[in-house]
Structure 1
Amino acid sequence: MDINSILRAGAVLAAAASLAACAGGPRYAASPDGASRPPKNPPPTARRGGVWKPYQVNGKWYVPHEQPDYDEVGVASWYGGHHQGKPTANGERFDKAAITAAHKTLPLPSVVEVTNLDNGKRIRVRVNDRGPFVDGRIIDLSQEAARRLGFEGRGLARVRVRYVGEAGIQTATLEARAD
């Protein structure tokens, strides 16, 4: 087995471990027998290995895909401590002090702009993980991203999330913008 095969296998295992720790989310249309199944004709998902493959969490299927016009309003949450240092879905190490996020279906890695609709604070974050798998939530931010958006103490915030584009492979620090 060559080093590339070992690295690919490690990334797949890391993604699986990350997903196993999550729970909940929207369900695909159920089959007549009530079982949740992936779509019969999902979009192409072979790019960049396992981060584009349909996946299942708690019996619900998700299909990552290109979403250049993604612009949603909903609830954001944040995660930190117990995920510190663990691999994200795309194989990076989670750092609660970095400006990162988890999304169920956006390309990994990518950049989104998140605006806290309660206070107007806005930042760009690197999406490098999958989640949140809790009904009613559209994005899960790192603890630092939540702090910069002003909702770390509350835990949840009403936000607007807008897709900016694909991110490079290297972890980039994205600075807060005061608009």
Structure 2
Amino acid sequence: MNIARCLVLAALAIALVGCASRGGLPGEGSGTEAPSDSGPAAHQAREIGRGLASWYGEPHHGRRTANGEVFDMNTLTAAHKTLPFGTRVRVENPATGQAVVVRINDRGPFKPGRVIDLSREAAERIGLVKAGVGPVVLYAD
């Protein structure tokens, strides 16, 4: 087992221990509300995927998304290959235990092995901006 995998598993174990004291999911809305910081055991939603997430901002900021709205990298939105537009997805970073609820408004990612492209704001909220790409678990919200 490589060091990166050991670190991910250790972080997940720590997140599981502390999840009982964490808050719940934000209410329904436009996709711009605060993220959930609940751990994996605190939220019993159905897992719909896992893999690598990436994020996008400039030069896409201000351009049209696949559903026709203008992309704003400062909102909680994401691109997915097949989920219907408007679907709300809880995206969890297992390495940190951080999670965010995003609304699907675009298509992608187009790199092999990636399951979701997050707006910059969504990636920031789960600690993926610096790395650019990282493992995530997707839950139906």
Pairwise same-fold verdict (TM > 0.5): yes
Residue 85 of structure 1 deviates from its aligned partner by 0.6
Partner of 2:132: 155
Match of 2:50 in 1: 73
CA–CA separation in structure 1 for the residues paired with 2:47 and 2:96: 22
Secondary structure class of the residue paired with 2:59: helix
* Cα distance in 2, alignment partners of residues 75 and 121 from structure 1: 15
Task: Return the offset for 1:154.
Answer: 0.5
Gaps of 5+ in 2: 1-45
CA contact (8 A) 2:56 2:118 kept: yes
Q: Counterpart in 1 of 2:39? A: none
CA–CA distance in structure 2, aligned partners of residues 163 and 131 of structure 1: 18
8 Å CA contact retained: 1:89, 1:129: yes
Tell me if structure 2 keeps the 8 A contact 1:90–1:109: no
Q: Structure 2 CA distance, aligned partners of 1:147 and 1:124? A: 13
AA at the equivalent of 1:101: A
1:18-97 equivalences in 2 (<5 Å): 71-97=48-74
Structure 1: gaps (5+ residues) = 1-68, 165-179
Match of 2:104 in 1: 127
Greater relative CO, 1 or 2 (CA 8 Å, sep 6+): 2
TM-score, normalisation: structure 2 = 0.66
> What's the CA shift for 1:70?
5.9
CA distance in 2 between partners of 1:105 and 1:126 (Å): 13
C-alpha distance in structure 1 between counterparts of 2:130 and 2:96, whole Å = 14
RMSD of aligned C-alpha atoms?
1.0
Residue deviations 1:48-94 (CA, integer Å, cap 9, x gap): xxxxxxxxxxxxxxxxxxxxx66111000000010011011111110
Separation in 2 of the partners of 1:90 and 1:70?
A: 24
CA deviation string 1:104-136 (max 9, x = no partner)? 000012100000011000110011000001100
Identity of aligned residues (%): 50
Residues 1:112 and 2:77 are matched in the alignment: no
Q: How many correspondences in the alignment? A: 96
Measure, in 2, the Cα distance between the counterparts of 1:113 and 1:98.
Answer: 14
Partner of 1:41: none
Q: Distance in 2 between matches of 1:114 and 1:88?
A: 20
Normalised by the length of structure 1, the TM-score is 0.52
Q: What CA distance in whole angstroms lies between the structure 2 residues aligned with 1:129 and 1:162?
A: 18
Q: Where in structure 1 do 4 or more consecutive aligned residues deviate above 4 Å?
A: none
